[in-house]
Amino acid sequence: MTDNSKQIMRFKDVTFSYDEGKPVLNKVNFELLEGKTYALVGPTGGGKSTTASIMARLYDPVSGSVEFKNKNIRCYTPTQLSKSIGFILQEPFLFSGSVGDNLRYGNEEIAKLEDKDLNQMLTDLELNRLVEMFEKGLQTEVSDNSENISLGQKQLISFMRTMLRSPEFLILDEATANIDTVTESLLEDIINKLPNTTTKVVIAHRLSTIKNADQIFFINNGVVQSAASFDEAINLIEGVKRLTPPNFT
């Protein structure tokens, strides 16, 4: 029996669909424990990002419920959830203004910090090397459509913005897909220094990421299935590829 004091999230008979058609998730049940690392794997369109979005309450289930820290996730305010749950997307949304403005946005604790104080906070969290990757640091401007910075830089801003909240539940949805290997290694080092109570959920296709997870969930056709081992997860992934036409991605 699971120790409820260690349970941080639980899906109870969760069903979700975007329309009246086939549900993306169908009466799904699973639980996540504090301090563990979980990998979500499966084919494109299988429901990995949808599952992660429900965890962060970007969507609510059509039926069933999601519990966060033994309470229905609907009981928390958006502010409480944004502080507790960090969600780093592959294609993050940014606002026009400076890099510093984007880091402060929605974070009441740092909203009024001057750049020098924000820089010190970033240094304390070992994020200052990421700021140095922008030509003018925190004062680097981000245009309305963000075309003046690379997709990799957008991901760095999203990463820093999330880490400044010190989330206890961190979701990474292909969060380093557009970042070079050296920078990716730096981000992984920062993540590895998070408190051992931080729960991490990773959506990734790289085998190294999957292999290091405490538990792997295979998501497809409305089902979330726990893989008993790394090899079983690979077999499930390969099984989908064998059954899918050549244009599968």
Q: Domain containing 102 — which CATH number?
A: 3.40.50.300
- Is the backbone of residue 97 left (phi > 0), alpha (psi -120 to 50) or beta? left
pLDDT in the model for residue 248 = 35
148 is in which domain, residue-wise?
Answer: 7-243
Q: Is 215 helix (H, G, I), strand (E, B) or coil?
A: strand
Q: What is the pLDDT of residue 247?
A: 41
Say if residue 88 is exposed, middle or buried (CB neighbours under 10 Å; 0-12, 13-18, 19+): buried
User: In this structure, how many other beta carbons lie within 10 angstroms of the beta carbon of residue 71?
Assistant: 9
State how many domains the chain has: 1
172 inside domain = yes
Residue 111 lies in a domain: yes
Determine, yes or no, domain membership for 154: yes
pLDDT for the residue 160: 93
The answer to whether 158 and 173 have CB atoms below 8 angstroms apart is no
Strands, sheet with 25-33, edge to edge from the N-terminal-most edge strand: 25-33, 7-16, 63-68, 71-72
**Domain annotation covers residue 1:** no
Q: Is residue 124 part of a domain?
A: yes
Which pLDDT belongs to residue 246?
42
The two tokens of residue 101 are: 């403005």
Q: What is the DSSP letter of 183?
A: H
How do the residues of the chain divide into helix, strand and coil, expressed in percent and rounded to 5?
A: 35, 25, 40
Tokens of 142: 């981000």
Tell me if 227 sits within 8 A of 236, measured CB to CB: yes
pLDDT mean for each 10 residues of the chain (249 residues): 78 93 92 96 90 96 97 95 89 88 91 94 93 93 80 88 93 77 83 91 78 91 91 82 47
Looking at the domain assignment, is residue 248 inside a domain? no
pTM value is 0.86
**Residue 74 falls within a domain, yes or no?**
yes
Query: Within a domain: residue 2?
Result: no
